[in-house]
Structure 1
């Protein structure tokens, strides 16, 4: 009897701290005990930014359910309802909490629906840029030689041009190829393509530098020794170890992508006015800013500024949290 109970006692004594009965802690417990969660809970500004970002994203996601009106439905819009001021001003209409625009659309509803387009373009363009940049960075850093030289020289040339100019160039070429009648059908894909191709360089250069460090480590040399293919080593073994900086860049670039989309829409080369994003709403309202209808452009502008600021603050926190020198 004593021989049966002794191993159990030893197992209980040698079990790692926080592991009950020799089982691994749950996913939630591991997150709660992590350094990133500790850093997050010790930064009130970061927590507020996360809450604001989550509220904006949820509001955009459930816009059809919470928006007072559907601004994209012509049957529910009346030109007679145009230019109603916000509800706290005189001559307002209780149907329009933040007022109405020149077409009689509810400004609050257009902001909620406009955030859906802005966030969708932002997320899609960031994912597109990340896929291209990470792939090219892995190839450049791992293969080296002429592959590295060609990719990095292309990146150097692109860095000499502002991202907005590259986006305008790609957008103009796509508009000319698609034609004015078909452009509205492909404008979302064109925006994602133009913004994504403007931001891939940061991912490629960052991943290339990380791969050059990882390529000389023992696990990579061991993988080569047992005969694994280069593509397997790059994507299965090296890539997981270089994702930290990539996530930081993606978070910061999300805010930049949203602002870039808003800039393109403000310049008139973004989404059409019939399905406006935040940038389109600002451009439409700018025409009436000095005639007294300030709410048409001010509220979308404030929404864009708060959203971009909150995402940027999250990116700054994530950069510091993933930096081992600051722990």
Structure 2
């Protein structure tokens, strides 16, 4: 069992690391991290945190439809932020909808990162025709907005699938469409770093001892190019959540039976001018806080991993 003084020494070494010091010396970053942690825990733990289950039709009462927030006249203490036109609790809907939005965002970023890193490593290491083909495809895709690429992929996927399967595959299609919109950033960044790293002595030594290109890329080059990728992934998480909300707002995202934040905003927007402002304002505010906290963390991570700013 480790001695207490040894544990204390290890904790002190960790506490005084550059990146930890940079984090704890920035109140804005700490506040953003706390806010992001609360949002992630509340959304992914919605089944335990939410006061109601808006997905369970048996618990929804139409007599509770259109109730304002609790501090307004006519509010009900059971529904802190009010209810929508179907009687669903707004707070619970935001938590469950945020879980869907974050799930799509995280899976989209993972898919885009794996695809982009793989193509970037292959392109930078092998060069030649492979590099030319991959980079030309990337440049063509950069000519179009990400939301347009996502709409195109989503439309093609829905056109190829039977109508009765659209709701069942809505989330995988969203992940595919958003992921294919963001892989270019990873590929270009990793390619540039790989072009530098493959000239290093340690890569030449790995070639001399007979390691395969796959082992060289995974074991030696990848760990040295992963830093900028983490910054891009953090930033793209916010962009992926916004893209998912945009697609759902346009009606091509997740189905109304599994509403995300974008779907909640779209539904509430139809009743905004009838005085039921809370139906769209609270999901919109939740989306803003979610994206803002992640963006602030990505800005800090970019500065903390940049050796020129140390």
SS of the residue 2:192 aligns to: helix
Q: Cα deviation per residue 1:264-319 (whole Å; 9 max; x = unaligned)?
A: 00000011111100000000000000000000000000000011011001001000
Q: Does 1:234 align with 2:200?
A: no
CA distance in 2, matches of 1:37, 1:168: 40
User: After superposition, where does 1:53-68 map in structure 2 within 5 Å?
Assistant: 53-68=36-51
Tell me the number of residue pairs that the alignment of Structure 1 and Structure 2 aligns: 306
Deviation at 1:175, TM superposition (A): 1.0
How large is the Cα RMSD of the aligned pairs?
1.4
Deviation larger for 174-183 or 40-49: 174-183
Displacement after TM superposition at 1:31 (Å): 2.8
Q: Tell me, in whole angstroms, the C-alpha distance in 2 between the residues paired with 1:225 and 1:90.
A: 78
- 2:133 pairs, out of 134, 138, 150, with 150
Matches within 5 A, 1:1-327: 26=10, 28-327=11-310
Q: Whole-Å Cα distance in 2 between the matches of residues 24 and 139 of structure 1?
A: 44
Deviations 1:112-158 (A, max 9, x none): 00110000000000000000000000000000000100000000000
Kindly state the Cα deviation for residue 179 of structure 1 after the two structures are TM-superposed: 2.5
* TM-score, scaled to structure 2: 0.97
| Alpha-carbon distance, 1:66 to partner | 1.3
Aligned equivalents of 2:231 and 2:16: distance in 1? Answer: 21
Q: In 2, Cα distance between the equivalents of 1:185 and 1:303? A: 26
Structure 2 Cα separation of the partners of residues 81 and 50 of structure 1: 36
Could you give the per-residue CA deviations for residues 88-115 of structure 1, whole angstroms, max 9, x where no partner exists?
0001111110000011000000000011
- Unpaired runs of 5+ in structure 2? none
Q: Deviations over 1:223-254 (max 9, x none)?
A: 01111111110111000000000000000000
- Structure 1: runs of 5+ lacking an equivalent: 1-19
* TM-aligned CA distance change 1:30 to 1:188, over 3 Å: farther
**How far 1:30 sits from its partner (Å)?**
4.2
Q: CA deviation at 1:180?
A: 2.2
CA offset at residue 29 of structure 1?
4.4
Equivalents in 1 of 2:302, 2:9: separation in Å? 27
TM-score, normalised via structure 1 length: 0.92
